[in-house]
Amino acid sequence: MENLERVLAEHPFLKGLEARHIELLAGCTSNVVFKPGEFIFREGEDADKFYLIRHGKVVVETFVPQKGPLLIRTRTKDDVFGWSWMIPPYKWHFDARAMELTRGLALDGKCLRGKCEEDHDLGYELMKRFATLIAERLEATRLQLMDIYGDHS
Amino acid sequence: MATTHKNNSLAGPEGSDVMMVRPFKIRRMIKETDDTFSLELGPRDGTRGFSFEPGQFNMLNVFGIGEVPISISGDPTKTDELLHTTRAVGTVTKAMKKLKVGDTIGIRGPYGKSWPVREVEGYDVVVVAGGIGLAPLRPVIYYLLANREKYGKIVLLYGTRTPEEILFRKDLEKWRARFDLETFMTVDRATGDWRGNVGVVTTLIGRAPFDHLNSAAMICGPEIMMRFTVLELQKRGLVDDKIFVSMERNMKCGVGLCGHCQLGASFVCKDGPVYRYDQIRGIFTKREL
């Protein structure tokens, strides 16, 4: 557990969290490994986790019937992905698939939701981090939608 | 740090008129992507070689059709090879795409301020290219690699629309294999068989390995991309006088006479296309310009 706490504390996403919060998170955390091509979650499934990548690459994608997967965003070392665990109805809206051997940490969203209700300081710290993440994703998505390399640019 | 300025007086090399069009023969046509191609040119008038600074452009004349400014995309250390890369999007570039090896094209130039490759010696250099913006930056990469010992880390961040639209694949493969150049690529969209990164080019900046206290950045791409790239570089701690951008406006004469490319108090063809960001940040987002 001590080792897990150290790994959590060193992850850029959780940097600056108080030791007591890291300890709480560690109680909801497990090590995970995904083989290349393995789905981490699929659209419509319960969103009961989020992930911190320690090594490897993951793609968030959606499946277009008769066309195949449309890749939306890749995530690599030190990235975090998955925020549907904190927003009702707690369902994944996209698929996530390991593009290569990927190692990381899975944080149990159900467990965390309970802990955040009990400890609002922890909830606020996580909310600040996820708000930053969501804002960054929103800006990147807007740029993608602008199709800046198209003929009009 | 000041930008290098190639002299643009009306007297050209050896007293020639800088407005004079020189005939060049198309030696090679290279299809880069579906709508993007490169022309390799050689002089027909018996002159030898063509010297330019990274970031400069020439006016290319398709006789009977018109003239367009196109950045030089080749190696500045090889004066016997003149390369231009462009997309076939307008009347002139579409006509240019139809030309054949052996045809003649008119050239005048080189014009414009170049990237400050000498001024940033000793710095880490971050090159950020979006789409066809890699073309005017390729001479920078060639130059930096030819003078590798003079620089700290060299980082290339390249983003484009789809995997099919990646430019200069052979160069990128070579650059990615080098230990003294960090190359990161991403595409805005892709389908299942793509193994690389997906996401806009600005998302590469946060993790790019450079020392923000001792770095300079050179950016070329659509203006929206450059604006957001500047924001991300500023978040990483880069200061505005270490950021350089290449602007594009409707350039006609190439020597600051006609006024078509006026941007605020400057003419892009003469005072640009490369600008230090702190010198144009006030007009960078002006709608009226």
Can you tell me the mean pLDDT for B224-252? 91
Q: What is the mean pLDDT of residues B49-65?
A: 92
Question: Can you give the pLDDT at residue A31?
Answer: 94
- Looking at CA atoms only, how far is residue B50 from chain A in angstroms? 30
pLDDT the model gives residue B2: 42
pLDDT of B261 reads 77
Low-confidence ranges of chain A (pLDDT < 70): 1-2, 151-153
Closest-approach residue (CA) in chain A for B199:
A73
Contact A144 B207 (CB under 8 A): no
Probe site for chain A from B191, B235, B236 (most A CB atoms < 10 A):
B191
Domain with CATH 3.40.50.80 in chain B: 124-284
Reduced 3-state DSSP string for chain B: CCCCCCCCCCECHHHCECCCCEEEEEEEEEECCCCEEEEEEEECCCCCCCCCCCCCEEEEEECCCEEEEEEECCCCCCCCCEEEEEECCCHHHHHHHCCCCCCEEEEEEEECECCCCCCCCCCEEEEEEEHHHHHHHHHHHHHHHHCHHHCCCEEEEEEECCHHHCCCHHHHHHHHCCCCCEEEEEECCEECCCCCEECCHHHHHHHCCCCHHHEEEEEECCHHHHHHHHHHHHHCCCCHHHEEEECCCCCCCCCCCCCCCEECCEEHHHHCEEEEHHHHHHHHCCCCC
Which residues of chain A have a CB within 8 Å of the CB of B202? 139-140, 143
What mean pLDDT do residues B208-233 have? 94
Provide the pLDDT for residue B18. Answer: 72
Q: Does the pLDDT value for residue B5 go beyond 50?
A: no
Residues of B in contact with A76 (CB under 8 A): 197, 207
Please indicate whether, in this complex, the C-beta atoms of A144 and B197 are within 8 angstroms of each other: no
Residue among B89, B160, B202 minimizing CB distance to A140:
B202
Fold of the B13-111 domain: Elongation Factor Tu (Ef-tu); domain 3 (2.40.30)
User: Which amino acid is it at B239?
Assistant: V
ipTM for the predicted complex: 0.87
Facing residue for A68 by CB, picked from B130, B192, B228: B192
Tell if the CB–CB gap between A147 and B165 is shorter than 8 Å.
no
- Shortest Cα distance from B131 to chain A (angstroms)? 6
B15-35: pLDDT as tens digits: 567 788 889 999 999 999 999
Q: Which fold has domain A2-146?
A: Jelly Rolls (2.60.120)
Asked if B194 reaches chain A (Cβ–Cβ under 8 Å), the answer is yes
Given an 8 Å threshold on Cβ–Cβ distance, is B161 in contact with A150? yes
- Which residue of A lies nearest to B197 if distances are taken between CA atoms? A74
Confidence of residue B289 (pLDDT cuts 50, 70, 90): low
Residue in B closest to A140 by C-alpha: B200
Question: Where do the domains of chain A lie?
Answer: 2-146
CATH of domain B124-284: 3.40.50.80
Average per-residue pLDDT for chain B? 89
B198 touches chain A (CB under 8 A): yes
What pLDDT, on a 0 to 100 scale, did the predictor assign at position B16? 61
Say what percent of chain B tops pLDDT 90: 70
Residues 6+ away with beta carbon under 8 Å from A83? A50, A130, A133, A134
Amino acid at B177: A
Write down the pTM of the prediction: 0.89
Answer whether residue B13 shows pLDDT above 60: no
Location of each CATH 2.40.30.10 domain in chain B: 13-111
**Average of pLDDT values for B1-24?**
59
Cβ of B131 within 8 Å of Cβ of A148? The answer is: yes
pLDDT of B136 over the 70 cut: yes
Q: Distance, in angstroms, between B271 CA and closest chain A CA?
A: 22
What's the mean pLDDT in B174-187? 96
Least confident among A48-57, B6-15, B86-95: B6-15
Residues 34-93 of B with CB under 8 A from A: 89
Q: A75: distance to nearest CA of chain B, Å?
A: 8
